[in-house]
Copies of this chain bind each other. A is one copy, B any other.
Amino acid sequence: MVALVNAVAARKQEDREAKLSAYREWRISVPDGPIDLSQYPLSKLTETERAIVQCDATLIVELIRKRVYTAEDVLTAFVKVAIVAQDITNCLSEVCIEEAFVRARELDQHLEKTGKVVGPLHGLPVSIKDHIKIKGLDTSSGYLGWAYKNIADSDALVVKILRNAGAILYVKTQNPQTLLSLETDNNVFGRTVNPFNRNLTPGGSSGGEGALIACHGSPMGVGTDIGGSIRIPAAHCGLYGLKASVARLPHSGLLGSHDGMDAIVGCVGPLATSARDLELFCRVMLDAKPWLDEPALLEMPWKRAVESEQSLPGKLAIAVLFDDGVVAPHPPIMKALKQYKDALVHAGHDVIEWKAVDHQNGWDLIVKLYLLDGGAEYHETIRAGEEFEVPQTEWMLEHAQRRDPYTPAKIFKLNSEREAFRSKALAHWNATSQFTVSGRPVDAILCPVAPTLAPPHNTTRWWGYTSHWNLLDLPAVVFPVDRFKATESAIYSPLPSSRNDVENFIHDQWDPATYDNAPICLQLVGRRHNEEKLLAMLNVLEKAFRDNSL
């Protein structure tokens, strides 16, 4: 961890440390040597605790409801791991473990007394990304200038719904300076690292979530995504993560820059260790009718009937995107795509190739939409509280080159370009009906999450495999396929020749040793507002893959 000399940062870190030290007896020393410490936090748990933290959220709530475990048992196990996960990865920001135990005991008593759970998440510990407000906790959101100035006086809507459903809030997790980053580094708490390989980033901006859940320090986390910020940490940490369509899931009560920016809107969403946990999260959120609290949300209940595989066509039509035309992915990702493709073909699904639609233009456009004000607000917020921009902030803000803020006329023009871009992509999708056996357009697109596995710190350079779907406002889910072993690298084919500087940079980076032990994940992209169908299809895809691997 980089030592931070700033007094405010030091105080933030001491405060966090103090709250964790209260549970000193659970702490274990972390070895310095190994790059892979992902399994380390489990090493000192009891058998039962180890069983608990390896359950997914769906199973945990079932076992609490059936009184196999108490909420306190469950929280204890996850807290023990979370403390070690923090020591390994620097994934936490705020801590409210004491309050969490009070709540766990309350919930246990309630169940004991009434025989009933308070809601579908009764007793489930859930971790929350830093810039999502939890009443009573500081919300520095990665800015030193905001530290101790934003004690939340209310819960974000997603937190309120989680609480009402019986979830237990116990930690908040790290996000990067500006939030507009696919790594996780800031001047408040420093950098978060990847538990599978500490030389690599866990991704960002929900990187604290990724690192924590990968260590089994949380069964379910809440992140946000405006360019890949849920999906990249899920991918780099070997998890499931869902970015829904804009305005399907609760989004109010966040504290970040650019409040009121409409041109590109982010999404709150879950990271978890199973696909069914993503469904669980969505069901709980939409059963709460959040549109009665947050006017921007769509009145679109969770369609249980669609969620089941029975509602899908017997054979799916899937388009596979191997290369976005800008940066071809590294060999392990290409291999995973091919394996999935083979499995789908073997299972009789209708598989075609997805021809990429203008990923470079899409990136050029979305960066303009991210930085309508030329980066002014980011620069001002940083300048007000800290001395330097972290490297990924610098890289991003260079895209605007400190130009003047756009005029309304220019903003209208960019919005029109965005709609034209979306129209073109939608027509492209509809036109896949010409290439499928069924004559239907494809049901989903299978594609990389990024051109590389979790990259070394400060080297993330291409967002085009994730930000593209934000630009199009399509739901996208990330899921794990495998873990990369550098020793097996001989089987990979050589990289194609580079087409541009970014691809050059990323292809030069390819060295199997660098990525040893990094998770391999893929991404499935659905039609807008079809989150239920997307998750149902993911089940079908994973089954086909498992069956083909036997």
User: Which A residues fall within an 8 A CB radius of B?
Assistant: 252, 258-263, 291-296, 298-300, 372-373, 376-377, 405-409, 411-417, 419, 422-423, 425-426, 430, 472-473, 527-530
Please give 17 more A-B residue pairs, beta carbons under 8 A apart, in addition to A293-B426, A299-B529. Answer: A259-B412, A259-B416, A260-B412, A260-B413, A260-B419, A261-B412, A292-B426, A295-B422, A295-B425, A295-B426, A295-B472, A298-B529, A373-B407, A373-B412, A376-B408, A405-B407, A408-B411
CB-nearest residue of chain B to A414: B260
Contact of A295 among B260, B263, B414, B419 (CB under 8 A): B419
Sampled A-B contacts (5; CB under 8 Å): A261-B415, A292-B430, A295-B419, A298-B300, A300-B529
Is the beta-carbon distance between B377 and A409 smaller than 8 angstroms? yes
Residues in chain B near residue A426, CB distance under 8 A: 292-293, 295
When the two chains form their complex, are residues B409 and A408 in contact, meaning their CB atoms are under 8 A apart? no
**Residue contact A408 to B296, C-beta cutoff 8 Å:** no
B295–A423 touching, CB < 8 Å: yes
- The count of identical subunits is 2
**Does A412 contact B529, Cβ atoms closer than 8 Å?**
no
Alpha-carbon gap, A417 to B295, bound state (A): 13
> Closest B-chain residue to A376, C-beta based?
B409
Given A263-B262, A295-B426, A415-B261, does the pair A405, B408 have CB atoms closer than 8 Å? yes
Shortest C-beta distance, A299 to chain B (Å), equals 4
Q: Are B295 and A473 in contact (CB under 8 A)?
A: yes
Q: Are A528 and B291 in contact (CB under 8 A)?
A: yes
Q: Which residues of B contact A473 (CB under 8 A)?
A: 295
Given known contacts A408-B411, A409-B405, A530-B299, A423 and B294 CB-to-CB distance under 8 angstroms: yes
Tell me whether chain A's interface is mostly helix, strand or loop, or mixed.
loop
Q: How far is the CA of A430 from the CA of B405 in the complex (A)?
A: 39
CB distance from A210 to the nearest CB of B (A): 29
Highest count of chain B CB atoms <10 Å: which of A405, A408, A414, A430: A408
Min distance, Cβ A156 to any Cβ of chain B, angstroms: 13
CB-CB nearest in chain B for A421: B295
Chain B residue with the shortest CB-CB distance to A294 = B423
B260–A262 contact, CB under 8 A? no
| In the A-B complex, the 9 residue pairs with the closest CB atoms | A260-B412, A260-B416, A295-B422, A260-B415, A373-B408, A299-B529, A372-B408, A405-B408, A295-B426
Q: Which residue of B lies closest to A380 (CB)?
A: B409
Check B422–A296 contact: CB distance below 8 A: yes
Please measure, in the bound complex, the distance between the C-alpha atom of A405 and the C-alpha atom of B422, giving whole angstroms.
27
By a CB distance below 8 angstroms, the chain B residues around A291 are 528-529
**Residue of B whose beta carbon sits closest to that of A528:** B299
Q: How distant is the Cα of A412 from the Cα of B300 in the complex, in angstroms? A: 26
Which of B258, B298, B409 sits near A412, CB closer than 8 Å? Answer: B258
B300, A419: Cβ atoms closer than 8 Å: no
Chain B residue with Cβ nearest A441: B292
Q: Which of chain B's residues have a CB closer than 8 A to the CB of A413?
A: 260
Give the distance in Å from the alpha carbon of A261 to the alpha carbon of B408 in the complex: 8
Chain B residues near A293 (CB-CB < 8 A): 426
A299-B260 contact in complex given A292-B430, A405-B408, A405-B409, C-beta closer than 8 Å:
no
**Which residue of B252, B300, B405, B406 contacts A300 across the interface (Cβ within 8 Å)?**
B300
Give A473 to B298 CA distance when docked, in angstroms.
11
Q: With the chains together, A197 CA to B409 CA distance in Å?
A: 40
Min C-beta distance of A311 to chain B, whole Å? 15
Closest residue to A417 on the B side, CB-wise?
Answer: B260
Q: Is the CB of A528 within 8 A of B409?
A: no
Closest to A409 in B: B373
Q: Write out the residue numbers on chain B whose beta carbons fall within 8 Å of the beta carbon of A263.
A: 262
Residues in B with CB closer than 8 Å to A425 are 295
Least Cβ distance of A105 to chain B in Å?
33
Q: Could you say which residues of chain B place their CB within 8 Å of the CB of A298?
A: 298, 300, 529
A231 nearest CB across to chain B (Å): 21
A348 to B269, alpha carbons, bound, how many Å?
A: 45
Interchain CA distance A426-B413 in the complex, whole Å: 32
Contact of A527 with B259 at beta-carbon distance under 8 Å, contacts A373-B409, A406-B408, A426-B293 already known: no
Chain B residues with CB under 8 A of A472: 295
How far, in Å, is A512 (CB) from chain B's closest CB?
Answer: 40
Q: Specify which chain B residues have a CB less than 8 angstroms from the CB of A373 in the assembled complex.
A: 407-409, 412
CB–CB A411/B411 < 8 A: yes
Q: Which residue of B lies closest to A407 (CB)?
A: B405
**Which residues from B are CB-within-8-Å of A407?**
373, 405
Complex: A408 Cα to B261 Cα, angstroms: 8
Query: In the docked arrangement, what's the CA distance between A26 and B311, Å?
Result: 57
Cα distance A425–B405 in the bound complex, in angstroms: 32
Give complex CA distance A414, B262 in Å: 11
Given the complex, which residues of B lie within 8 Å of A529, measured CB to CB?
291, 298-300
